[in-house]
Amino acid sequence: MSDTGSAQVLIVGAGPVGLTLANLLGKEGISTVLVELNPGTVPEPRAIALDGESLRTLQAVGLADIVTATLREGFVADYVNGEGTELFTTDLNPRPYGFCLQNSFDQPTLENQLLEGLSRFHSVTVCFDTRLESFSQEAAGVTVRLRNSMDEERTLRCDFLVGCDGGRSTVREGLAVAMHGDRLPQRWLVIDTVDTYLTGDPECRFYCDPARPAMTMLRPGGERRWEWMLLEGEHDDSMLEDEVIRQLLKPHTNPDCVEIYRKVVYGFSAVVAEKFSEGRVFLAGDAAHMTPPFAGQGLNAGVRDVRNLSWKLAAVLRDGMAPSILHTYNLERHDAAQEIVNLAVVLGDQIQPTDVSAAAERDGFFAELNKTPGAGAKFGSDLVAPLHDVRMNLGWFVDDGFGGRFLPQPMVERHGQLERFDESLGDGFTVLLPPGGSIPAATVGHRLWGLLSPQVRELPAELQDFMGDSNAALLLRPDRFVLAQLPLNESASAVLDELEEGISEAV
């Protein structure tokens, strides 16, 4: 390790979130150092659900096809009570953004794919066995002290520091940023298995049984995750005993056909940091928020963080955009992360009740609901509606009915072949122009237009339903959120004025 060094961005933590951020910055050509305390990527599966929005981010860095080749794409999750009666379902197969709403994956495989992806970028350096000792920031940058496994110390000077270093974040501790929320009282036994007996259904099932809440999910390669809630008076060590696990498996499969390669007891938190940034230092992933697993959104919320942050860092460091754009990161991601935590808690409330009377009341509600055909499926669909129609409530966009919405990604025909729409777009800002439309000269001459330097593409017919009756153009951010409608007349300048003002007010 050299004594001194510099980089535009230092990322602390090489889990899936940090590795994704490094790929995003690498593609932008940003000088990046990624440090990780551990000697390599994780050897065991932790997160198991990767959603369509995250896969769209991986598409942006050219890894979606590699990753999807090792996924189980899409599934239906069902929720059953203690008698095995279906309460409701959530269909996670639709592809509004180019990929199934939810997919099961293997975390060690994904991390290795992300790590190998970094070899494409000369601007990215990865340092395992490296600890963040301390950091200090001032107006011009951040000074960081690092120490490797050979006890060699290095000082690194960077423009920005991003903590992707998990729930016990050293970066968050250094900022003295508090986490707000609850540590859930329930603890869960989690096992990962290869099961040659139970090879298909259920793909994903939540057992909402007050006698013992549980869940299972089929994973790539015929592997299966099981989770059971510990009851009052039960202890971690005893629940990890082979015979206890065998008895838990017995009602569902043939334990003699199950190879258990990982077993652990976890507790879950529903917490969000009071803020996601301070000056030149940012928090992302579990360093910023921790969510219970019931919505499969913990990792995915972290990927949303770094997709949001990466293009803003590149815009400031490479393109000369005002640093005030970085203040929109906290504005756009903090409350959105809180909403995801709240969704997971709501789903957990359906799964976890061990009070017999509370469970009976819940069962009675669904019994009445399901007298109407399809009502249980609609209930489940409504619960995961935020995954179908992703919108920002706050942030840098014009609130015109389109601004802040995540652009759908249809399959479109190009050069005689079907492909996902983003493949025809570049990495930066884009204007989608209705067929036959043109951008007024006054719009092209606007100062913000010159700064954004958007590519102009024709709006495909497959997005006409999204546009409705509007005949305006759409201005897209690099993360595929709509920035604003642009009228094809002189009033577009007023829209660009509003966006300019929005950046200055973000401070």
Q: Which CATH number does the domain housing residue 437 bear?
A: 3.40.30
Helix (H) or strand (E) run with residue 56 in it: helix 52-60
Domain identity same for 119 and 22 = yes
Number of domains in the chain: 2
Q: Of 333, 348, 371, which closes a domain?
A: 333
> How far is 19 from 165, CA to CA, in rounded Å?
11
CATH code, domain with 298: 3.50.50.60
User: Under DSSP, is residue 334 helix (H, G, I), strand (E, B) or coil?
Assistant: helix
Domain with 420, as residue range(s), is: 411-505
**232 domain-assigned:** no
> How far is 315 from 324, CA to CA, in rounded Å?
11
**251 domain-assigned:** no
So what's the pLDDT on residue 505?
Answer: 55
Domain identity same for 318 and 425 = no
So what's the pLDDT on residue 73?
Answer: 95
Domain identity same for 21 and 163 = yes
Domain identity same for 316 and 461 = no
Residues in the chain predicted with pLDDT less than 50, given as ranges, are 1, 506-507
Domain identity same for 328 and 451 = no
User: Under DSSP, is residue 227 helix (H, G, I), strand (E, B) or coil?
Assistant: strand
Domain identity same for 328 and 445 = no
Domain identity same for 165 and 307 = yes
**482 domain-assigned:** yes
**233 domain-assigned:** no
Count CB neighbours of 429 within 10 A. Answer: 21
Residue among 308, 278, 276, 306 at smallest CA distance from 289: 276
Domain identity same for 324 and 447 = no
User: Under DSSP, is residue 60 helix (H, G, I), strand (E, B) or coil?
Assistant: helix
Domain identity same for 435 and 315 = no
Q: Of 298, 333, 368, which closes a domain?
A: 333
Domain identity same for 318 and 420 = no
Residue with tokens 């998990």: 166
**48 domain-assigned:** yes
Instruction: Please list, residue by residue across 272-303, b when 16 or more beta carbons sit within 10 angstroms of its beta carbon and e when fewer do.
Output: bbeebbbebbbbbbbbbbbbbbbbbbbbbbbb
Count CB neighbours of 96 within 10 A. Answer: 19
Domain identity same for 142 and 51 = yes
Domain identity same for 33 and 131 = yes
So what's the pLDDT on residue 2?
Answer: 52
**222 domain-assigned:** no
**365 domain-assigned:** no
Q: Of 286, 308, 333, which closes a domain?
A: 333
So what's the pLDDT on residue 384?
Answer: 81
Instruction: Please list, residue by residue across 201-213, b when 16 or more beta carbons sit within 10 angstroms of its beta carbon and e when fewer do.
Output: ebbbbbbbbbeeb
**198 domain-assigned:** no
